[in-house]
Amino acid sequence: MKPEDLKSPFREGERKVLIQDRVWYIPLKGLSESDPFRFPGWEDPALFGNSSPVYVEYCSGNGTWIAEKAAENPSINWVAVEKKFERVRKIWSKIKNLQLPNLIVISGEGLLTTERFFPQESVEAVYVNFPDPWPKKRHAKNRIIQPIFVQQIARILKPSGSLTLVTDSLEYSAQMIEVVNGSVDFSSYFPAPYYSEDVQNYGSSYFEQLWKEQGRIIRYHQFQKKIMEEACSF
């Protein structure tokens, strides 16, 4: 299958939530609170049809990294989240051509999708690989790694679940560390300075290959959701 074989299922101007042929469509704008769609659960046949662990990657790009992971780990359900439809098409093409029943792609924005649809404590691991660094100061507010996003990730992760962030931007790396270390929900796998420049068998993506060829430094950040102790009762 070629990426262009995936056609939008909607007429012009139509906006609704729909799961169809391994793609979960979530409108970027105009999503109504009255939309009748209700999340059916990861076990639903329209998604995975089983209760295997769920791993989510945000900013999946062309899907190289997550498709490789899905092929290597068939006992894990993988979810790619990508808001650009041209990239969604490429991920869908990989799902079809590599015959990956354990991978779906969400055509939507990460924070909105997570807030509206992902159930509490339903995900084992979250990855954000090379998110847009929005390098200009006035655009930094558009970065996905913000306190509200981290709060939502803590909500959907199971106890001891993991959050992995990867970037080639040293400025964004500093923000990632500040935001996640500032959360009461996470602790860093790595001691100060809270990142590693070498993680074995992590997997490769288009951007990782590109930036390494250009000699850029890549930082890997890994955090674990804390298990909160229940308050004592007498």
pLDDT at 232: 47
Output the pLDDT for position 12.
73
Q: Is 106 or 15 the better-scoring residue by pLDDT? A: 106
pLDDT of residue 80: 98
Q: Name all domains of the chain by residue range, CATH numbers in brackets.
A: 53-223 (3.40.50.150)
The predicted pLDDT at position 229 comes to 61
Kindly list the strands in the beta sheet with 157-167, ordered across the sheet, starting from the edge strand earlier in the chain: 18-20, 23-25, 103-107, 77-82, 54-58, 123-129, 157-167, 219-225, 186-188
Is 5 annotated to bind a ligand? Reply is no
3-state secondary structure of 87: helix
Q: End-to-end CA distance of the chain, in Å?
A: 62
169-178 tens-digit pLDDT: 999 999 999 9
- 72 carries a ligand binding annotation: no
Catalytic-residue membership of 35 = no
Burial class (CB in 10 A: 0-12, 13-18, 19+), 163: buried
Measured CA to CA in angstroms, residue 12 lies from 8, 28, 56, 220 at distances of 10, 14, 30, 41
Catalytic residue among 5, 132, 185, 198: 132
Q: Which residue has the tokens 């041209």?
A: 86
Q: How far apart are CA 64 and CA 78, in angstroms?
A: 13
208 carries a ligand binding annotation: no
Residue 230 reports pLDDT greater than 70: no
109-157 residue pLDDT tens? 999 999 999 999 999 999 999 999 998 888 888 999 999 999 999 999 9
Instruction: Return the pLDDT at 30.
Output: 67
